[in-house]
Amino acid sequence: MKEDDAVAKVSEFMANLDTIRRYKRSVILFWKSMGIFLVAMALILSMEVAYALVGLFTGGFDVSLLFVSPLVILLNILFFFVGLLAIAVYIDQRVSHVKEGNWEAALSEGFPGALKLLLDMDWESVMEDTKTAKLGLMGSVIANVAAVSLIILFILSAINSAIIPFIFHIQLDFTILVSISILLAILQFRKGIDEKLKAVWGMDYLSADLRWFVDELKRAELET
């Protein structure tokens, strides 16, 4: 039945909009979480510096020892990676458990309900959401590559200082290590990056399509 087809199309459309809104939400959550994380990191480092300064003025211990202490370095690294992981899990949980639109009730009314959803839609906000979702997708590609690059860089740095000098009697330059880390991270996520970049370009098409659709909808309304 044609009416059912129209309702199904609008249902699919609304579900896709929900996905886009979830991406938008994840962008907002990401920046909020990163803000908290960076403040926490800054606080920890400040406390370490303050502790070192107290030691310096009271002559209690050698300040330089604090920043080369394996325990302190390890704790800082651990906090950094656990923090990033916590952010990723937090965003994933918050975004996947959120039901965006309450549009199923309207669709249960059939075609008139589907039409009402389209007529009452805040199209400017939909287009804004699409733009933000696009930025979110691009951001998630960069964040994924950056996070994995950091982990690889950490491992490579350890190998570069502990193993390579003993075997090859050389030490690789830090720039080379960074380049290798980024390259390996890109290779690791090649497929995911490719899909997300395609989706980013798809958002551009969608923005243009939505603009055209809204014009057509307004024209159809004016013709009544």
Residue whose token pair is 């502790």: 51
Chain centroid, CA 207 distance in Å: 21
Contact (Cβ atoms closer than 8 angstroms) between residue 100 and residue 20? no
220 interacts with another protein by CB under 8 A: yes
Contacts of 143 by beta carbon, 8 Å cutoff, 6+ apart: 30
Select the span of 70-78, 155-163, 182-190, 204-212 touching another protein (CB under 8 A). 204-212
224 interacts with another protein by CB under 8 A: yes
94 interacts with another protein by CB under 8 A: no
Q: d(Cα 101, Cα 110) in Å, to the nearest integer? A: 17
16 interacts with another protein by CB under 8 A: yes
CB closer to another protein, 169 vs 219: 219
* Residue 150 Cβ vs another protein, minimum distance, rounded to whole Å: 23
Distances (CA, A) of 155 to 34, 148, 158, 170, 187: 24, 11, 5, 17, 17
* Residue 205 Cβ vs another protein, minimum distance, rounded to whole Å: 5
135 interacts with another protein by CB under 8 A: no
Q: d(Cα 177, Cα 21) in Å, to the nearest integer? A: 38
Binding site for another protein (CB under 8 A): 2-3, 5-6, 9-10, 13, 16, 19-20, 23, 110-112, 114-116, 118-119, 133, 137, 195-196, 198-203, 205-206, 209-210, 213, 216-217, 220-222, 224
